[in-house]
Amino acid sequence: MTLSRRHFLAASTAPAILSASPLRAQTKPKVSYAYLLDPAYDAVVWAIKNGKVRSNLIDVEATGLLIPQLLQVTSTKQYDVVMTAVIGVPAAVARGLELRILSAALHTSPVGEGAGVWVKKGSPITSPSALKGRTLGSYGLRSTGYMYVREAIRLKFGLNMALEGGDVRQVEVQAPNLPAALATGQVDAATLIHSQAWRAMQSGDFVNICETNAILNERYGPLVSAVNVSYPDRLAQRAEHIIEFNRMLKASVTYALSNRDEVFGAIAKQANIDRGFLDWWFDKTTRVPAVFGDEHAKAVQTGWNIGRELGMVASVPDVRAYTWDKTLRS
């Protein structure tokens, strides 16, 4: 079932005459937000879209987009706030695009599930160490999430995970096609997206041979894979509005986690997914801080350093220089 991806704000215009002067309908300014198109993040913004979290100052228009669209709108500044990959910030700086971090959008759970390496049931591959000379499929070779998978395999199993000339042949497969590619032997192993991993756990058709987030948690602590960002000029012009957006997003996360039956039930029905997926996602794979404290800054800086070591970016800045000074800290 297709979810409604855009929240349209209703504005009534009822012209009236008083002392020969027209009264104009009062509308609040809008803050537009582009986030990753995913049922779990639909749950994050559900309270905003459904009027459970309101503001007297602004209206928020939240739109779910696919990763290529998010990359495009980040460059065009089409939205006031955009959810983007952690590694995308220094990459944007290198292109001359200034971004400022408002909050951590995706923060690995201490449990460490959700970033497994999967093989077909009955496969002779029982450890990532056996991937040398074999093919590993990914939803996005240059994504932050897959960058972390590469780092975990490098750390734990000693493989050269360079995208070119490494020990493992790494190929990009469109996310919806990953399970079929694994089932038919087009790839020997694959990194499934969260909804696919949930279905794999339920079906038993695939076997998880390694939880890479657990490896990284032990070495670095939970890492941040996505952040919400805006632009210096937009922040200078609309600081009060963006401060209010940050408050509303945090309140929306709190509402979702405090009202799971209402929110998760609605999303599961609309997206035609198992309600248990949302509980698993929030409890065992991912946190949505919607703030940016010292813990998150350290995790982002670590992610940037990993990206430099793996050749994703040539250099990394100090995260403090690219964090908005008015963002929520806790």
pTM of the model: 0.89
Tally of CB atoms within 10 A around 92: 18
CB 245 within 8 A of CB 33: yes
Classify domain 116-220 at the CATH topology level: D-Maltodextrin-Binding Protein; domain 2 (3.40.190)
Give the model's pLDDT for residue 160: 98
Distance, C-alpha 23 to centroid of its chain: 43
Give the model's pLDDT for residue 182: 97
Q: Which CATH number fits domain 29-108+223-322: 3.30.70.260, 3.20.20.210, 3.40.50.720, 3.40.190.10?
A: 3.40.190.10
Write out the residue limits of the CATH 3.40.190.10 domain(s) in the chain.
29-108+223-322, 116-220
Ranges of the chain with pLDDT below 50: 1-24
Distance, C-alpha 169 to centroid of its chain: 26
Q: What is the pLDDT of residues 95-116, one digit of tens each?
A: 999 999 999 999 999 999 999 9
Give the model's pLDDT for residue 11: 36
Sign of the alpha-carbon dihedral angle for 323, 64, 31, 265: negative
Give the model's pLDDT for residue 181: 97
Give the model's pLDDT for residue 26: 64
List alpha helices for 194-311, DSSP H.
Answer: 194-203, 212-220, 232-237, 239-258, 260-271, 275-280, 294-309
Q: Which of 139, 51, 15, 144 is nearest to 91 (CA)?
A: 144
What is residue 284's DSSP assignment? I
Give the model's pLDDT for residue 71: 84
